[in-house]
Amino acid sequence: MSYYDLNKTGQTSQFLQVLKDCVAEAGNTGLLHIEKQIEVDCKASHKELVTLVDRQNEQFIVNRIKEAFPHHKVMGEESYTGETFQSDDYVWIIDPIDGTTNYVHQKQCFAVSVALYHQGEGICGAVYNPSAKELFWVERGAGAYLNGHRLFLDGQQSRLADSLIATYIYYNDDEKYAGFDQFVDRIARTSRGVRMIGCGSLELAYVACGRFSAYFSFVQKPWDFAAGKLLIEEAGGIVTGLNGKPVDAYKSASILAGPKSLHEEMTAISNAILAM
């Protein structure tokens, strides 16, 4: 059953419908190319991959948004050059393929993530996992959903000792100097385990639906967390920096996301360990 079948009887905003169309078509385009010879380049390092599909997907999404909302602004992973935004701008934050390394090597565990923000607050967003045909979508004040099912974090694991945690680790000097390795060690020892999929938007979506108890990362770009942040908040959870402070949706930030009581427990650990 397609997401159109699941949601066609509901009333969705014009923004949300365009957003759903974009992530579904871009995700399915990714699937069409997955068994072909994919053109791959590197960005700043050999660990940061970009494919022709990333660029084509982003251009398709940008064109679709501009056709529908010509005065809106765009922050796309493959085209963003550091522009700043006015407080009244509508800003679409786009990751045309999140988990590109997974896409190239594993042919799975990747997603398309798009969110719309206004005055720094999320309006709506979606994360689409084409391999599993799963569409996570959210509208501010109307809830978070996986396909047609409402997501709630109430009653999810409330103690770190009972929790399975997701993360992303860069293994770089910034993490080392901040003591991030000590934080990871403490979380891994105290929880039931730590997992790293390599697709931040999908891992945040998995927190929203309860597959992971929480997620943390030393640094994430806006396109990595914009949609997932809103998903978790509308499901009843909390998303902040590792220090417990609010994050700016238009800037890179550390991320700590999960249900309230677990978030508080992990924040207390991070504030005791990390130099941030």
- Give the tens place of pLDDT for each residue, 158-195: 799 999 999 999 999 999 999 999 999 999 999 999 99
The three-class DSSP label of residue 166 is strand
User: What pLDDT shows up at residue 157?
Assistant: 58
pLDDT band at 275 (very low <50, low <70, confident <90, very high): confident
Query: Tell me: the pLDDT tens digits for 191-244?
Result: 999 999 999 999 999 999 999 999 999 999 999 999 999 999 999 999 999 999
CA atoms within 13 A on the CB side of 140: 14
User: What pLDDT shows up at residue 258?
Assistant: 96
Please report how the helices 260-273 and 180-190 are oriented relative to each other, as an axis angle in degrees rounded to 10: 140
Range of the domain at 139: 3-150
Residue 106 CA to residue 99 CA, distance in Å, equals: 10
- Same domain flag for 122 and 240: no
Q: Is the pLDDT of residue 14 over 80?
A: yes
Judge whether 155 lies within some domain.
no
User: What pLDDT shows up at residue 114?
Assistant: 98
Average pLDDT over residues 26-46: 89
Predicted TM-score (pTM) of the model is: 0.93
- Same domain flag for 16 and 41: yes
Q: Is the pLDDT of residue 8 over 90?
A: no
- Same domain flag for 130 and 181: no
Residue 74 CA to residue 83 CA, distance in Å, equals: 10
Residue 168 CA to residue 199 CA, distance in Å, equals: 8
Q: Is the pLDDT of residue 156 over 90?
A: no
Q: Around Cβ 67, how many Cβ atoms within 10 Å?
A: 9
User: What pLDDT shows up at residue 35?
Assistant: 81
Q: Is the pLDDT of residue 1 over 60?
A: no
User: What pLDDT shows up at residue 38?
Assistant: 83
- Same domain flag for 190 and 72: no
Alpha-helical regions (H) of 34-144: 52-68, 100-105
- Same domain flag for 165 and 137: no
Cα angle for residues 160, 165, 170 (degrees, 5° grid)? 130
- Same domain flag for 85 and 202: no
Contact 243, 276 (CB under 8 A): yes
User: What pLDDT shows up at residue 2?
Assistant: 35
pLDDT band at 103 (very low <50, low <70, confident <90, very high): very high
Question: Which CATH number does the domain housing residue 267 bear?
Answer: 3.40.190.80
Q: What element of type H or E holds 224? A: helix 222-235
Percent share of the chain, pLDDT over 90: 84
Q: Is the pLDDT of residue 32 over 60?
A: yes
Residue 273 CA to residue 276 CA, distance in Å, equals: 9
Average pLDDT over residues 96-108: 94
Residue 200 CA to residue 265 CA, distance in Å, equals: 21
User: What pLDDT shows up at residue 7?
Assistant: 43
Average pLDDT over residues 117-143: 96
Beta strands in the chain (DSSP E): 40-42, 49-51, 73-76, 90-98, 111-118, 121-129, 134-139, 143-146, 149-150, 164-168, 193-195, 214-220, 238-240, 253-258
Average pLDDT, rounded, for the chain? 92
Q: Is the pLDDT of residue 67 over 50?
A: yes
- Same domain flag for 166 and 130: no
Question: Which CATH number does the domain housing residue 41 bear?
Answer: 3.30.540.10
Q: How many separate domains does the chain show? A: 2
